[in-house]
Structure formats: C-alpha cells, structure tokens
Amino acid sequence: MSLEINGIYYLLFFLVFFLAILPQIRLVIIYLDAKTYYSFYFGTHSTAGLVDAAVEHGVTTLSLCNINCTYDH
C-alpha cells in the first residue's frame, strides 16, 4: 500500500518537475566579448541582431566590447 502511495508521489514529483520546474531552469550563459558592426570593418552583427541572437542562444549576460570604443547605437 505504502509502495503504491510512494509511487504516486514519485509520479507527481516527476510530473511537476518536467512540466513546471524544468522549463523555468535556464543555463547561465555568459559571453565576455561581443561585438557589433560598430567595431568598424570587423563585427558583422547589427545591435538588434546581436541581441536577437543572444536571446536565441539563451544568453543571460552579454559583455559588449567593441574595438577601441564603448560606442553602439
């Protein structure tokens, strides 16, 4: 009987974990040196394109390091 109850608990736990908790977990993805095309004649990402790509790759922190400037639009 207790085995059956434990089984239900386990089932419930896995259900909650897979359906509710797991989707909330994000890997902490960080990049130290991202450039846009304001690294003139070097980077090929537009500013919006870089952010979109970062979102797509699940990036949580992005360090913008253009060449010899802190410039970006």
Partner 1 sequence: MKLCRGSGIKLVMGADIRNGYSHLYLLIAKNNNDLCWINTFLSEHLIAKKDFPLVPAASPDVFVVYPYDSKQTAELSANERIGIKPYLIASIINLNPGDQYVIHQPIVVQDKDHYYLHCLLRAIDKNIVLSQLKPEYYCNSQDIFLLPLKLLQAYRHYPALVTNTYKLLDACNIEMDFDADKTMGVYGGSKEDDFVLLEKLAHAGLIRRYGKKNKAASDRLVKELKVIYDLGFTAYFLINHDFVRFANEQGYYHVGRGSGANSIVAFCLGITDVDPIELNLYFERFLNPERTSPPDFDIDFSWTDRDEVMAYIFTRYGKKHVALLDSCPTFKIDSIIRELGKVFGLPDEEIKLFQRDGKPTCVKTRKIQRFGELMCGFPSTLSIHPCGVLISEKPILNYWTLFHTPKSERTSMAAIQMDMFTAEDIGLNKFDVLSQRGLGHIKDCQALIKQNHSKHIDIHNTKVFFSDERIKKHIREANTIGCFYIESPAMRQLLKKLRCDDYLTLVAASSIIRPGVAQSGMMRTYIERFHKRAKVEYIQPLFEEHLSETFGVIVFQEDVIKIAHYYGGLSLSKAEILRRAMSGKHSSSNRFNLIREEFFAYAIALGRDPEQVAEVWRKMVSFAGYSFNKAHSASFAVESYMSLYLKNYYPQEFMVAVINNFGGFYSRELYFMELLKCGGDIHLPCVNNSDQLTNIVDGKIYVGFIHVKGLHDKLIERITDERKANGAYTSLDDFIRRTACGLEQLNTLIRIGALRFTGKSKKTLLWEANFLQKKMQSVAPEVQTMFNEPLKLNFALPELNDDAIDDLYDQMEIMGFCTTNPFVLADADPDTFVSARDLGKHVGKTITMLAYFIARKHVITKNDDQKFFGIFVDSQLDWIDTVHFPDAAKRHPLHSSDFYKIKGRVAEDFDIFSLKVQYMEKIGYRNRSYAN
Interface ranges with partner 1 (CB under 8 A): 27-35, 37-71, 73
Q: How far apart are CB 23 and partner 1 at their closest, in Å? A: 15
Q: How far apart are CB 26 and partner 1 at their closest, in Å? A: 9
How far, in Å, CA of 1 to CA of 5, rounded?
Answer: 6
Cβ proximity to partner 1: between 2 and 68 the closer is 68
Q: How far apart are CB 22 and partner 1 at their closest, in Å? A: 15
Cβ neighbours for 15, distance < 8 A, ≥ 6 positions apart? none
